Amino acid sequence: MRKLLISSAVLACLASVFVNAYGQNPATGGTKKATSAAAAAAPAADPPHKIALIDMGRVFKEYKKIEALKEDWKAEFSVSEESAKKQSAQIQKIIEEMKQFKTGSAEFIQLEKKQTQMAGEFESFRKNSQRDLIRKEAELLKTVYLEAMEVVGRFADRFGYTMVMRFNSDTFDGDDMNKMQLVMNRVIVYHRPEDDLTDGVIKYLNSTYDRSLKQTGGPATGTPRIANQNK
């Protein structure tokens, strides 16, 4: 019996040495080594979202390049309008000439055919011109939008934003009930001024555009550094 008690005591001592050597946790049956490995393997927590805002309406109004693009579009529109006026005047002239001849006469029929042909050409020209102008206007807006989005992406990377939302920065203006209703119904009801990227994006776009005009008269080739926004 005494030998049995001695053996039990020896085993208890060996078990204590084993636990101390390997850092076993008696509450969980695990080890310090296993706990450390599990902690190392656990994924890091995702950073919290940081949301910024951009007023694209203001960007389209205040970006200088869009005004230059609009001037080109207006010039092309004027050329198209001038050509349409000339064709319309020619058709009207033929109609006036037709009045000088009896309906059904050879001269009348000849002028009528010419008028019909010119009217068809005019309608085709009008439709094609309108389609081309609409397409070029869409390309103009697309150019400005993509440039703005590129700058927004740079600002987001620079200042650690994970999401950028569009919003309307209009405020109450006198007794304009329509504008007041729009302001009251907007989704964004509060934001910190420093989270509004609009001023910074507009300044960046305009400074890049001005520099491109001074240097080459064309699109900017450099990628200037983004300074602190809204400064």
Instruction: Name every residue whose Cβ is closer than 8 Å to that of residue 152 and which is 6 or more positions away in sequence.
Output: 54, 164, 197, 201
Q: Quote the percentage of the chain above a pLDDT of 90.
A: 47
Domain membership of residue 198 (yes or no) is yes
State which residues form the domain around 202.
51-215
Q: Total domain count for the chain?
A: 1
Residue 206 clears pLDDT 80, i.e. is over it: yes
Residues 80-98 have pLDDT tens digits of 899 999 999 999 999 999 9
User: Is position 11 within any domain?
Assistant: no
Determine, yes or no, domain membership for 13: no
State the pLDDT confidence band at 40, using cuts at 50, 70 and 90.
low
State the amino acid at position 46 in one-letter form.
D
Q: Which residue has the higher pLDDT, 176 or 58?
A: 58
Residue 111: inside a domain = yes
- 34 domain-assigned: no
Query: Which amino acid is located at 183 in the chain?
Result: V
In-domain check, residue 225 = no
Task: Tell me the per-residue pLDDT of 152-179, one tens digit each, with 9 for 90 and over.
Answer: 999 999 999 999 999 988 877 667 777 7
Computed from CA positions of residues 10, 12, 15, 21, in that sequence, does the dihedral angle turn out positive or negative? Answer: negative
Domain assignment present for residue 67? The answer is: yes
Position 18 scores a pLDDT of 42
Residue 229 located in a structural domain: no
- Distance, in Å, from the CA atom of 77 to the CA atom of 130, rounded to the nearest integer, reads 9
**0.75 surpassed by pTM:** no
Helices (H), the chain: 2-22, 32-41, 56-62, 64-98, 106-159, 177-185, 198-215
Between 221 and 211, the higher pLDDT residue:
211
pLDDT digits (tens, 9 = 90+) for 103-115: 989 999 999 999 9
Distance CA 207, CA 171 (A): 27
Side chain identity at residue 23, one-letter code? G
Instruction: Report how far residue 137's alpha carbon sits from residue 126's, in angstroms, rounded to the nearest whole number.
Output: 16
* pLDDT (tens digit per residue) in 10-33: 444 444 544 444 444 444 444 555
How far from chain centre, in Å, is Cα 163? 12
